[in-house]
Amino acid sequence: MNIFDRMMSLDRRWVFLSLAIVCVVTYLWDFSVPITISNEVKSIYDRFDSLQEGDMIYMSVDYDPNALAELHPTTYALAEMCFRKKVKIIFGTLSNLGQGMVDQVIRDIADSVSHDATYNGVFYKGREIVNGVDYVFLGYKPYPAMVIQAMGLDFRVPFPTDFYGTILDSIPIMKGTKNFDQCKMVIDMAAGNVAEMWITYGHGNYGVPLALAVTGVMGADMYPYLGSGQIFGLAAGLLGSAQIEKLCNNPGRAMDGMRIQLFAHILIIFFIVMGNVGFLATRNRNKMR
Amino acid sequence: MKRQLPLMLVFVFGFAMIIQYFIPHQASEWVNAFFMDWMMIIGVFALALGIWSLTKVSWDKVKYKKSNWQYAIVTLAGLFLMIFFGFDYFRHFSTPVGSNNYMYVKFYQHIVIPIQSTMFSLLAFFIASAAYRAFRARSLLATLLLIAALVIMLRFNPLLGPLQPIMEDFSVWLLNVPNLAAKRAIVIGVGLGMVATALKVILGIERAYLGKD
Amino acid sequence: MEWSTFLWTTLGAFLTLCTFSFLYKDNPFYKFAEHLVVGVSAGYFALVLWHQILIPNLFERLNDGDWYLLWINSSRFWYLIPAALGVMMWTRFSRKRSWISRWPIALYMGIAAGMAVPREMQARVIEQLWSAMRGIINWGNFFSLDATAGIASVIIFLGTLAALFYFFFSKEHTGPFKIVSNFGIWILMIGFGASFGYTVMGRISLFVQRIQVLNDWTIIAWEPGKGGFKLFWFLVFGVFIIWAVFEIVSFFNRRGKVPEA
């Protein structure tokens, strides 16, 4: 086995080890990656920025812990922005283990909003977030297509009570709130085909203004919907989350993680190039023979 | 009764739902809401089957001492403990007090979240290894795929220096033009496929869901 | 720092490492974590089904009836019908009676299929076709590099057609058809490449998050600053290397013994 053969057939555990070392070492090294903002993310931020005090939005947290790395930063940044601006949020989840995710978001953001902060030059005084006044958490229901369809008619059809067992009519912010008509927009943080169900049954059926924050795996697949105007914004993967954090002036795990991405990608490209050099050299040698 | 009635049900309800879409009347919306409400209730019982099946498989593993049966005890213990905590130590069954139970929340945050997210993070290593083994510029098509992937991976890389803005612009174009065209074709193809399958189900041509006699 | 915080975060870190150990090879630590998460998630989901669906959507609605009469005297007794249909699903386990489960399944399939036909047609097919055609009518500044107008629209339109042609036309791809289908597959390959690039980013970010969490844990558990984090990874890689050396030594030992046996 010569060097070119070896370049093509490295044991995968060497790849694993190098990736782990590169990621950990990069993490220890403090530097920041400049993040350029793409139009599809900017349009999400602009809509959120234009919300006024007292407006209401629907935030669908449709991911399990396995996608939290990519989507939690977006959820945190946007939820905090809304609470700071006194925009009301209806939380819901269509993912099996998603209610724990919302629960965690609410606990953490309530803690964060209780402190004073300045974002994008605007000072916000710390305040207490009150369940039923600032937000309502509807909980989880299975079969996303049907739940979205039912919510478009009346939130009370799929959700007679909220997550905590309170009847929806007795919750202050749900008085006079029937369906998506009272919401300025729906933002769906999705891992999986729930995103497309929101497009088909949410936007398609009821014309709700819809934005998506999706995992990297789904990112490229959502562009046709962006092109056709079925969604007004798209934040895909950790890069999308980092852009949202940057726009909200609220740096978190996504912006922090981008510097690791940088070197991890370079390492993967290095391996691809190495494999290809080995491949082309071997092919040329075989041809010459 | 065993085959004809289900086929009739599918036809009648399927057709009713198609018609419902085209009638923007309150009565039609009421029917829609009614169906959705019922379906969720029926569906829950199907989901419960999954949990029952997991319990049964694990229990049988322990009972018949199949290979790795010790781990089935871990599964059953996890399941039972979560149910115990979720009912607030078997004190509240009809109100969701248990959803805020200290142990229930902590188990989710410190067992489910770390293991699930780490399991998926293993994919980072496997995709690195897969990229190294599979990405070979064997032909024009493979090279196109490789170039598109490299552009997307390198677009935010400041180490490219003056090339970085060009790469950024090119990636925007690539995502919004050729990628959009490809994905649009796939979306249309999938859409047509879904509609065709749904029609086959409604008309009773596709019957696999009925199982065997 | 509270002891409970220390213990819980340490448990999380331990389970994270148990799961990572799979990268070397399958082992009891990984199996333990894997089985634990299956059980705990199933328990969690069981409670979600109970508290979030069965109670509010079914039992609360029947609660003015009496359970010993099977809620037949409830004012909203009609909710017993979906409940009965749901219970029918459970006959799936019986070989003799499993045909009963076909009724609720048929009902579900009918409604789901009926819902899908017009809505999927509208959202996926008509909207997309309309958007592709609208783009081509909107000439705008033809030669600009803007992705929404001009030459880009033409490429999108032709690319979509060619890719659809490649997928759907069963006619043999020769002559001019070959050119169209070749263009179609080029476009598709670029699309798949873009997806792959995004997928790599997505997967890496999952690992990045675990590194961040482990860093938080070293801060919570040991000290503020990055000394603990360095030491922690030093230990992890140390264990990995010792394990690898042990494996290599035992491999050579085995290799020596096999021919003798």
pLDDT reported for residue A146 = 92
Contact predicate A253/A85, CB 8 Å: no
ipTM of the assembly?
Answer: 0.91
In the numeric block, which tokens belong to residue C8? Answer: 């819980």
pLDDT reported for residue C259 = 47
| Other chains touching B, judged by 3 or more CB pairs under 8 Å | A, C
Among A100, A272, A280, whose Cβ lies nearest the Cβ of B112? A100
The string of DSSP letters for A107-140 reads: HHHHHHHTS-EEETTEEE------BTTTEEEEEE
pLDDT reported for residue B133 = 86
| pTM, rounded to two decimals | 0.92
| Torsion B183-B187-B190-B196 (CA) sign | negative
Decide if A239 and C201 are in contact by the 8 Å CB cutoff.
yes
pLDDT reported for residue C225 = 58
pLDDT reported for residue C144 = 56
Helical (H) or strand (E) element with B148 = helix B140-154
What is d(CA C225, CA C44) in angstroms, rounded to the nearest whole number? 35
Instruction: Tell me: pLDDT of C141 over 60.
Output: no
Mean pLDDT of C65-94: 87
Phi and psi torsions of A52, nearest 5°: -105, 165
What is d(CA B91, CA B84) in angstroms, rounded to the nearest whole number? 9
Phi and psi torsions of A62, nearest 5°: -105, 55
Q: Which amino acid is at A99?
A: Q
Instruction: Tell me: pLDDT of C219 over 90.
Output: no
What is d(CA A43, CA A231) in angstroms, rounded to the nearest whole number? 10
Residues of C in contact with B199 (CB under 8 A): 113, 117
CA distance B164 to chain C (A): 16
Mean pLDDT of A159-183: 93
Whether B12 contacts chain C with CB within 8 A: yes
pLDDT reported for residue A120 = 92
pLDDT, tens only, B131-161? 888 888 888 899 999 999 999 998 888 888 8
Closest CA to A248 of A62, A47, A98: A47
pLDDT, tens only, B80-133? 999 999 999 999 888 888 888 999 999 999 999 999 999 999 999 999 999 888
Distance of CA A144 to the CA centre of its chain: 18
Tell which wins on pLDDT, C216 or C231.
C216
DSSP, res C185 = H
A134 CB neighbour count, 10 Å cutoff = 21
pLDDT reported for residue A134 = 95
pLDDT, tens only, A90-138? 999 999 999 999 999 999 999 999 999 999 999 999 999 999 999 999 9
- Could you give the percent of chain A with pLDDT greater than 90? 79
DSSP, res A38 = P
- Residue-wise burial string across A160-186, b where 16 or more C-beta atoms lie within 10 A, e elsewhere: bbbbbbeebeebebbeebebbebbbbb
What is d(CA C12, CA C110) in angstroms, rounded to the nearest whole number? 44
Instruction: Tell me: pLDDT of C69 over 50.
Output: yes
Decide if C209 and A257 are in contact by the 8 Å CB cutoff.
yes
DSSP, res A167 = B
pLDDT reported for residue C261 = 39
Task: Give the total residue count for chain B.
Answer: 213
pLDDT reported for residue B198 = 95
CA distance C256 to chain B (A): 30
Q: How far is CA B119 from CA A12, B124, C30, in A?
A: 18, 10, 10
Whether A259 contacts chain C with CB within 8 A: no
| Torsion A241-A246-A251-A257 (CA) sign | positive
CA distance C260 to chain B (A): 31
Instruction: Report angle CA A107, A111, A112 to the nearest 5 degrees.
Output: 120
pLDDT reported for residue B92 = 87
